Chain A
Amino acid sequence: MIITFLQFILIAVFAMALGLLFIGLAKKTVARTQKRIGPPFYQPYLDVLKLFGKDAITHGFIFDFGSIMAFGGMIATLFFVPIADIYLYSMSGTLILVIYLMAVAYLGMAMATVGSGNPLASVGISRALTQMLGYEIPFIVVLLTLIYNSQTSSIVGLIEAQQGGFLNWNLVNIPLGTIVAFIALLGLMGKKPFDAPIAPSEIASGPVVEHGGKYLGFMMLQHAVAIVVETALFVNLFLGGAQNILIFILKMLIVWLLATLIGSIYPRFKVEEGVLFYWKWPLITALVQAVIIIF
């Protein structure tokens, strides 16, 4: 009982630390692409520490509850995603469960938005939920293809199906699906072509407009955990996972830096353009891939 509890705590703390490190490395990468020196890689740790030391005002119970729900929803998702050979659950259906649980974080954010009552925050969260409608459809088609191909809906099962060398990875077996999933991952993580929900210059950082102090700190931690969950999911599903945690983190870092580099050179889609884009090319590609796999 105690051991399990400790495992939960350790995994959560590890994911937060790793996510903040990833954000710092991404800031450095973007700075280098713009010929800047950029902040030190440990800048996000300082930001979070400072934010927890600042004063903060609440906007009522719903605001508090929504913020905690956004953070807790992401942490709950984390426990179902295997990180290297560390996993807590291996039953069938975890893949579908993870997709459902990821929405909880967004709904929590929406609740905090309602509590704060700021119109810009409402615009931001409505954009986020609209965009979710866009990327989830091609993503789900690819996931169903994966499930059909490996005849299992457990993430651990999908990793086991890819064991035995590079040629067994889904990256090689399902190449078009991997590309579609990567584009969906950009939207999932809110990277640059699809960052309309948090557009700082237009809607003043969207859902977190009214978050200050520790609330913003929680949102940053939530974002950090979300990055770990999403890149880990991608590595598990398409890059064959890993037995060694260092190799696993390396794979995650490659996926994350690739997404960052794409984000640092492309401008932002309007939200309806983003959704239409997802429903056009990635969806068609995903369906073609599904047809190829099934027949």
Chain B
Amino acid sequence: MKEKYKNSKWQEVINWAQKRSLFMLHYCTGCGAIELPPTMTSRYDMSRFGIGPAATPRQADILIITGYLSTKTLRRVIYTYEQMQDPKYVLGFGSCTINGGMYWDSYNTVKQLDKYLPVDLYIAGCMPRPEAILEGFLELKNKIEVGDADGYKRYKTDYEYYKSNQENVLGEVKRRQ
């Protein structure tokens, strides 16, 4: 959207639509992915809240990091995140994204996701059940309405911080834009 329309009445309309229509990227890293199919299908049905799956990063609004993240996967997650279009949100899912969880002393697992990507919301648990996931999505909707879910803005302003952390653990990340 053009700069001159941002922070106008039009932006409020867009925010209103944005929080009711969230496309979630099909990208699953750890064991948490197993909790998403029940959330999507008949039992818990998250499409009631306007949340649906999207096939590619270009179409998606939410990137869910489901569980532990090995350093090898982190590189792909960064590529994926940078291909997504603003506004975009990252959901940390399970204890592994908060402090490493059961992988707290692993040599090739990312302990704190927040160092490498701006996380908007954590869902704690190992694993969080579908009820907890829905609760998290509703909380994210509230944050979007208030304007609190500003991770994609932080990624731009604090880019040096994120980039240096990424390079510390990966050596380098080639940007393909």
Contact = CB atoms under 8 A, between A and B. Distances in A.
Please classify the interface of chain A as helix (H, G, I), strand (E, B), loop, or mixed, using the class held by over half of its residues: loop
Contacts of B56: 204-205, 209-210
B21 A37 contact: no
Interface in A239-253: none
Given A39-B50, A46-B21, A54 B87 contact: yes
Interface string B6-34: 00000101100110110000100000000
Contacts of A200: 53, 55
A204 B80 CA distance: 14
Contacts of A208: 59
A293 interface: no
Contacts of B13: 49, 53
Contact of B17 (A50, A55, A57, A201): A50
Nearest to A202: B55
Interface stretch (A76-84, A181-189, A211-219): A211-219
Interface in A22-40: 27, 31, 34-40
Interface hub of B13, B14, B18, B47 (most chain A Cβ within 10 A) = B47
Query: Which range holds the interface residue count of chain A?
Result: 20 to 34
A40 B53 CA distance: 16
A53 B55 contact: no
Nearest to B18: A50
Contact of B85 (A36, A49, A212): A212
Interface in B76-101: 84-87
Contact of A57 (B42, B45, B48, B85): B85
Contacts of B41: 34, 36
Contact of B59 (A27, A31, A52, A205): A205
A47 B21 contact: yes
A56 interface: yes
A46 B42 contact: no
B72 interface: no
B51 to A, nearest CB: 9
Given A200-B55, A204-B56, A209-B55, A49 B17 contact: yes
Contacts of B18: 50, 53
B168 to A, nearest CB: 29
A47 B14 CA distance: 10
B153 interface: no
Contacts of B45: 31, 36-38
A138 B158 CA distance: 60
Contact of A204 (B1, B55, B87): B55
B85 A56 contact: yes
A51 to B, nearest CB: 8
A39 B52 contact: yes
A213 B50 CA distance: 17
A32 B42 CA distance: 9
A56 B87 CA distance: 10
A52 B11 CA distance: 11
A218 to B, nearest CB: 13
B154 interface: no
A47 B17 CA distance: 7
A50 B17 CA distance: 5
A130 interface: no
A263 B20 CA distance: 26
A27 B56 CA distance: 20
A53 B26 CA distance: 22
B58 interface: yes
Interface string A220-244: 0000000000000000000000000
Contacts of B53: 200
Nearest to B11: A53
A43 interface: yes
Given A50-B14, A53-B11, 18 more contacts: A31-B47, A36-B47, A36-B48, A37-B45, A38-B48, A43-B21, A46-B21, A46-B50, A50-B17, A54-B61, A54-B86, A54-B87, A55-B86, A56-B85, A204-B56, A205-B59, A209-B58, A212-B85
8 contacts: A39-B52, A40-B50, A49-B17, A50-B61, A53-B1, A54-B87, A57-B85, A212-B59
Interface of A: 27, 31, 34-40, 43, 46-47, 49-50, 52-57, 200-201, 204-205, 208-213, 216
